[in-house]
Amino acid sequence: MSAKTPDEVLQKFLERVASGEAVTRVCRDKSMPSWTTISTRIAADPAFEQQYRLALEFRGMVLADELDDIKREAKTGLIDPASARVAADILKWQAARMTPKMYGDRQHVDVAAVEGGSYLDVLTQVNKAVQAKRVEVIEDNKDTLPNTLRAREINQNPVNKKLHKKKAKQRK
């Protein structure tokens, strides 16, 4: 190919890759640019790099679809199960590398801050709401409750009371 590769040729290259052809096979074709030309273009042009990556993802999807053909051929006995397993493993590996979001082994979770505060802020709001509700109950029953309340008295359960009695007996 010439030093300046026409856009139509590059688009044809991307179409062939997206349809499932290997990049090296496409580059061996005399009517297509060489791998050196493609790699130089990928490094120099971010838009072409995005198109190339998208073409590789589409190729991964095509390869994943070929797994159905292998399954069908293995079921009908056209290929032996050992050969089918090897071919399927290769296709799965290739599809996972080309389209990791869809067929990859590892899941990637993005955590981003969202408007509305952090988890700690939400917990603080819930705590304040619970405390406000507790204060309302205390205000309604102020004749029956003592004037001062301590957090230990509110949260203490019967198990802890039994422990305190045991410790008191041990001290005597």
Can you give the pLDDT of all 172 residues of the chain as single tens digits?
445 778 899 999 999 999 999 999 999 999 999 999 999 999 999 999 999 999 988 988 888 888 888 988 888 889 888 888 998 898 888 888 887 777 676 666 677 766 666 777 777 888 888 877 766 655 666 565 555 544 444 544 555 555 666 666 666 6
| Four-point Cα dihedral 26, 29, 35, 37, nearest 10 | -120
Which of 93, 111, 28, 20 is CA-nearest to residue 57? 20
The structure tokens listed for 48 are: 């072409």
The structure tokens listed for 144 are: 């029956």
Q: What is the pLDDT of residues 78-128, one digit of tens each?
A: 988 888 899 889 888 888 888 777 767 666 667 776 666 677 777 788 888
Query: Can you give the pTM of this predicted structure?
Result: 0.53
Residues contacting residue 145 through CB under 8 Å, at least 6 positions apart = 138
